[in-house]
């Protein structure tokens, strides 16, 4: 670091490992804007409920480390759970409004675990910038809220969703899918494309769009956890789609719960 403190701009990419191109796109973004890039790999127990897949979540550290090396990541932070959570840990970060809907409604306590670990990682790593994926739209919004409300000196960048060539959003959980389920998983992207087409054709009623999405997912072999069309800033459901809306879905394909979303700004769409 020089005497002005320059040369040490840390960009941070938090992950749970089992890295794929989606993660690596965040890493590349981080590298563009920093002097030092830190990737954390930590399957955070606090964000899983007892009924979820913490035990079987894919752990592929050697492969992850190779991918990070190829991208010239400077530091991989790979702590054990007991290094992050001591036995006497009692303080958690809770968001009171935005975390109650969408994934927060389906996974009670999930965002409390996410915000707590991200706050701890920010304190440990002290980045200037942190890069998150639009794939977890509600998570990104909540982290921006936390940084704002608790005055973390970290700039949050939200990077676009990377997809497989056929449209499936990349996810560490895609490895759970059997070949048949992998084919069925396409219904998530198809439903979002159907919604986008309807909006392009002038449909503004959220109920009609939701109905079409429901049909697409059910015909494609998915079981809906939720389909929500919400205002991007408040995450409150909208009945008429005007301005910036988030169309977010969570769908079970077999036992695997997948999420996906698109953000649509009707003003931009009409322009």
The site for ligand AMP (CB under 6 A) is made up of 15-16, 22-23, 25-26, 132-133, 135-136, 159, 161-162, 169-172
Q: Which is nearer to ligand AMP, 74 or 218 (CB)?
A: 74
Q: At closest approach, how far in Å is the CB of 46 from ligand AMP? A: 13
Question: CA 156, CA 38: separation in Å to the nearest integer?
Answer: 14
- Residue 68 to residues 34, 58, 76, 249, Cα–Cα distance (Å): 15, 17, 8, 30
Residue whose CB is less far from ligand AMP, 121 or 213 = 121
Helical H runs in the chain? 21-32, 61-70, 81-84, 102-106, 110-125, 137-149, 179-184, 186-200, 206-219, 266-270
How far apart CA 247 and CA 89 sit, in angstroms, is 36
Which one of the listed residues 8, 23, 89, 189 is annotated catalytic?
A: 23
Smallest gap from Cβ 25 to ligand AMP, in A, equals 6
Q: Which is nearer to ligand AMP, 167 or 221 (CB)?
A: 167
23 part of the active site: yes
- Measured from the CB of residue 160, what is the shortest distance to ligand AMP in angstroms? 7
Of 140 and 206, which CB lies nearer to ligand AMP in the complex structure? 140
Kindly state the smallest distance separating residue 20's Cβ from ligand AMP, in Å: 7
41: which 2 tokens? 């790999």
Closest CA to 63 of 124, 20, 105, 10: 20
Residues 203 and 167 sit within 8 Å (Cβ to Cβ): no
Which residues are the active-site residues?
A: 23
């Amino acid at each position: 670091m020089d005497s002005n403190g320059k040369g040490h701009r840390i960009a941070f990419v938090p992950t749970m490992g089992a890295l794929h191109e989606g993660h690596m796109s965040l890493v590349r973004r981080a590298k563009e804007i920093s002097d030092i890039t830190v990737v954390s790999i930590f399957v955070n127990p606090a964000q899983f409920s007892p009924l979820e897949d913490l035990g079987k979540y894919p752990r592929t550290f050697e492969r992850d480390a190779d991918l990070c090396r190829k991208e010239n990541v400077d530091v991989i932070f790979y702590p054990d759970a007991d290094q992050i959570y001591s036995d006497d840990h009692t303080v958690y970060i809770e968001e009171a409004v935005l975390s109650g809907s969408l994934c927060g409604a389906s996974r009670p306590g999930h965002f409390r675990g996410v915000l707590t670990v991200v706050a701890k990682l920010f304190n440990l790593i002290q980045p200037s910038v942190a890069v998150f994926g639009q794939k977890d739209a509600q998570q990104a919004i909540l982290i921006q809220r936390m940084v704002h409300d608790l005055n973390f000196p970290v700039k949050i960048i939200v990077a676009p969703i990377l997809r497989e060539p056929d449209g499936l959003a990349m996810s560490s959980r895609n490895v759970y899918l059997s070949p048949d389920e992998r084919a069925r998983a396409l219904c998530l992207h198809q439903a979002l494309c159907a919604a986008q087409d309807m909006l392009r054709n002038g449909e503004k009623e959220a109920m009609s769009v939701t109905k079409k999405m429901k049909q697409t997912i059910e015909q494609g072999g998915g079981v809906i956890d939720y389909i929500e069309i919400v205002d991007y800033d408040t995450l409150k459901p909208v009945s008429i789609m005007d301005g910036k809306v988030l169309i977010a879905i969570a769908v079970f394909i077999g036992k695997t719960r997948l999420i996906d979303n698109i953000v649509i700004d009707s003003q931009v769409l009409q322009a």
